[in-house]
Amino acid sequence: MENKRRLFFLMTPPSIWLLVFFMAPLLIMVLYTFKESTFGSFLPFTWENYEQFAQTPSFFRLLLDSSWLALLTAALSILLAFPVAYYLVFYTGARRITLLTLLILPAWTSFLLRVLAWKVILGSNGLLNQGLIGLGLIQEGVPLLLYSKAAVLITLVYVWIPFAALPLFAAMERIDPRLHEAAQDLGASPGQTFWRVTLPLTMPGIASGFFFVFIPTLGEWVTPSLVGGVDGIMYGNLIQDQFARALNWPLGALLSMVLLVLVATFSYIFNKFIPITEVPVST
């Protein structure tokens, strides 16, 4: 009885806050997908937005494109971060935390500013072009890279490498070094040890690194709006556009709901393999 009262006291405020400002908005968003226009009443319900969504192949194509870009971003971030995590864990001894901190320091500076830095580097008057002119490789500044899919990819990979490195580092640190010795004592070559001991044991880190890059990238719209140009837009820009410019909130709500369902599905599948929300009870 006592416990119930305490629990009630502890759980009520956070539950109400989350219900009102998190669950309710999502539900109202779903209702909005049946609305005829941004302003005006909810009734009568209409399937118009759903029809428009189904009849606009570019929506679906952009969703596919963005998923592919997110996949590529996640894979590249992990690929680039992997060797450095490996080096830090297995070669640097006690200094590894300091070296890791130096590496992930950029992650603490503003996301927007890191994207801005790449806008400066990739622009047609940007540093990359100047460098290429300096080397005599090209004659004049061309917007080679800015405002393209490649620019979005480079910038996102740059932004995410530190976040991909962390779970890899953590997973490798948990590997018992004696396992390596055992493998070598049993006659495994360094290559075999890597493929059959280190890599399988790092898999949880790879999976969570992949997840934590892939999911936020899928919903990205800020990076493409700054460095992507017309070619580089992502699905998120479509949503942002409906609310900020086109003022078609019902369609925006539908686009947004589709993204939510996609992300929820991915998270559900992922959570089956690596639970992020498991908190043990210690009573």
From the list 27-35, 48-56, 173-181, 198-206, the region that binds other proteins by CB under 8 A is 27-35
79 binds other proteins (CB under 8 A): no
Q: Which two tokens stand for residue 69?
A: 């870009």
Pick out residues in 32-71 that bind other proteins (CB under 8 A): 32
| Residue closer to other proteins (CB basis): 71 or 260 | 260
Q: Which two tokens stand for residue 258?
A: 């589709």
From the list 44-52, 87-95, 166-174, 175-183, the region that binds other proteins by CB under 8 A is 87-95
User: Helix and strand tally (H, E) in the chain?
Assistant: 14, 0
CB of 166 to other proteins, least distance (A): 13
Q: Which two tokens stand for residue 17?
A: 């806050």
Q: Which of helix, strand or coil describes residue 164?
A: helix
How far is 224 from 218, CA to CA, in rounded Å?
12
CA angle 53, 55, 56 (to 5 degrees): 70
How far is 153 from 142, CA to CA, in rounded Å?
19
* Per-residue contact flags (x/-) with other proteins for residues 144 to 183, judged by CB under 8 A: --------------x--xx---------------------
* Per-residue contact flags (x/-) with other proteins for residues 198 to 227, judged by CB under 8 A: -----------------xx-xx-xx---x-
Query: How far is Cα of residue 106 from the mean position of the Cα atoms in its chain?
Result: 17
CB of 220 to other proteins, least distance (A): 8
Pick out residues in 252-281 that bind other proteins (CB under 8 A): 252-253, 256, 259-260, 263-264, 267, 276-277, 279-281
CB of 201 to other proteins, least distance (A): 18
CB atoms within 10 A of CB 127: 13
